[in-house]
Amino acid sequence: MLSPTDSHPVNLDRPDDLHRALNVLDRAGYDSMSVFDRIATRRAKELSLSPRDRPRLLRLTRDADPQAVLIRLFLLGEPVPMEDSRRAVAPMGTHG
């Protein structure tokens, strides 16, 4: 499992790494509008990440598609299976 507390940062001092990271996020649809469309309630005008919303958010991101994996890892702080995280960030890869 890869958790949000693992220390495997992207090296932002290398522009190529930054561009690859941005491409991964773009391909996954990990941008504010796409994430909002996936996890916001129909009547909400803003995202709610409160503990009360957690079961709904986990249900909405239960698939192992890249966007769901990144939402669980970065927004919800949930551990994700290593293989799912590797697929989500391909071709960058993960350490561990």
Q: Where are the domains of the chain?
A: 15-39+47-89
- Is the pLDDT assigned to residue 86 strictly greater than 70? yes
Entry pTM? 0.78
Q: What is the predicted pLDDT for the residue at 93?
A: 62
Integer Cα distance of 11 and 40 in angstroms: 31
Q: What is the predicted pLDDT for the residue at 3?
A: 55
3-state secondary structure of 45: coil
pLDDT (average), residues 32-49: 80
The one-letter code for the residue type at 52 is R
